[in-house]
């Protein structure tokens, strides 16, 4: 494999169209996808990064992203419909983009974020990412998500996916509490560092040897969309800086907390972070 350009961070995952239903008669269209939220964090910090993403010819936010996706003619961009008004987020998918393939991974990086949103991160693509990056930080949503007959997002057990055999290629796996219920936590933590996000209770870092509970930053939640993505970006930044896992989790919690206070891709305020983490 010939070497490509090298970056501090490589983001691997698609941009999306989000339709946010905030309550009766209240809805808004927005740029979405893990790549968009993670890019907001990386842009705020000023990190050198690249994005590997594809979208359909209907993608409407090319002028809003620093690293536009590769447009595939004749295809559609992934669209999520998020119903938020009931107090619990319900996700549906009304369109799916094409997957990211190994040949889409053309650069090297110190840290790669494998952040698929709806099945676009193929197992062979994850292998390629692990070959091009020193550390891989992955989001469990990209490994577990499937759809029911009505387009609602569900999680399949990790053990039933091809990604279960690839855990050693992942240095940090981030999972929500729902996603963690779809895996054997004790088995996973023996094979990789597992970070479970717990909303207002913060997060738990699990390795083969230790458990670290890190409290959340108290904020008033407006929209949880993208909070996990900003958390993931913060954790990756901590690794990039060589911080210990507990400090990586503190940084991740800080960015995740800022994300939930805004609707859509957030404007991030570094001054709101503890001085030691800026």
**Could you say which DSSP state residue 208 is in?**
S
Which is catalytic among the residues 108, 139, 223, 229?
Answer: 229
d(CA 99, CA 116): 9
Phi, then psi, of 67 in degrees rounded to 5:
-120, 90
Integer-rounded Cα Rg, in Å, for the chain is 17
| Residue 43 is a catalytic residue | no
Contact 125, 132 (CB under 8 A): no
- The whole-angstrom distance between residue 31's C-alpha and the CA centroid of its chain comes to 14
DSSP-derived secondary structure for 31-75 = EESHHHHHHHHHHHHT--EEEE-EEETT---GGG-SSPPEEETT-
Give 100's strand partners: 121
Active site residues: 229
């Amino acid at each position: 494999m010939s070497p490509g350009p090298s970056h501090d961070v490589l983001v691997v995952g698609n941009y999306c169209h989000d339709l946010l239903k905030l309550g009766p008669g209240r809805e808004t269209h927005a740029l979405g996808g893990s790549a968009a939220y993670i890019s907001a964090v990386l842009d705020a910090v000023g990190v050198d990064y690249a994005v590997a993403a594809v979208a359909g010819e209907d993608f409407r936010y090319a002028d809003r992203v620093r690293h536009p996706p590769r447009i595939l003619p004749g295809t559609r961009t992934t669209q999520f419909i998020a119903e938020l008004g009931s107090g619990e987020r319900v996700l549906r998918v009304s369109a799916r983009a094409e997957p990211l393939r190994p040949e889409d991974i053309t650069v090297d990086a110190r840290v790669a974020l494998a952040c698929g949103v709806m099945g676009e991160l193929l197992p062979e693509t994850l292998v390629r990412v692990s070959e091009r990056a020193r550390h891989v930080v992955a989001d469990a949503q990209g490994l577990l998500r499937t759809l029911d007959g009505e387009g609602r997002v569900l999680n399949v057990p990790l053990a039933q996916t091809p990604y279960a055999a690839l855990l050693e290629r992942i240095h940090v796996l981030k999972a929500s509490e729902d996603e963690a219920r779809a895996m054997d936590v004790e088995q996973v933590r023996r094979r990789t560092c597992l970070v479970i996000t717990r909303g207002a209770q913060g997060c738990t870092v699990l390795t083969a040897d230790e458990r670290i509970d890190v409290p959340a930053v108290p904020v008033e939640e407006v929209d949880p969309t993208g909070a996990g993505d900003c958390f993931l970006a913060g954790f990756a930044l901590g690794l990039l800086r060589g911080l210990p896992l507990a400090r990586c989790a503190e940084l991740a919690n800080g960015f995740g907390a800022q994300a939930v206070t805004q609707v859509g891709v957030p404007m991030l305020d570094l001054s709101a972070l503890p001085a030691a983490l800026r």
